[in-house]
Amino acid sequence: MMVKRAFNKEQLDALEAAFQQDPYLNTETRTSLTEFGLAAKQVKTWFQNTRFKRRKNGSDPRLDFDVILGTSTSTSQEDESVIDKNSKAAEEAEKKIVLQLLEEMIQKVDVEIGSV
């Protein structure tokens, strides 16, 4: 069983900075964050948890499925401007994000099934 450890300020600052650049972790970012004394699994878990928390409380529109999929029922100007910016390239990027989320969910289910 892993013991939960608190991150120090330097580690949190590095994680936050990387997350602000891209909320989806890639190998290069994960490797660079291990230089702050973090295990790759810690980095991956922090990114997953942070995406979930911010999606849940709506603090990051990049993680809002309704906005990403264009199914938002809100009519605020901010929401409309985000949806209006959906060019072909943006739609492709959004599809990639959804696929990444689905892959993460599948991996988690595979791990849970394997531990049963």
User: Which amino acid is located at 105 in the chain?
Assistant: M
Using one digit for the tens of pLDDT, what is the confidence trace for 7-66? 999 999 999 999 999 989 999 999 999 999 999 999 999 999 998 888 888 777 776 666
Contact 20, 35 (CB under 8 A): no
Supply the Cα-derived Rg of the chain in whole angstroms: 16
Please give the model's pTM, rounded to 2 decimal places: 0.53
Selecting from 3.30.1360.10, 1.10.10.60, 1.10.10.10, 3.40.980.10, what CATH number does the domain 1-59 have? Answer: 1.10.10.60
* Euclidean distance between the first and the last CA atom of the chain, given in angstroms as a whole number: 16
Please report, to the nearest 10 degrees, the dihedral formed by the alpha carbons of residues 48, 52, 55, 57 taken in order: -140
State residue 17's pLDDT score: 94
Instruction: Tell me 13's DSSP state.
Output: H
CA distance 43 to 72: 31
**Residue owning tokens 């390239």:** 89
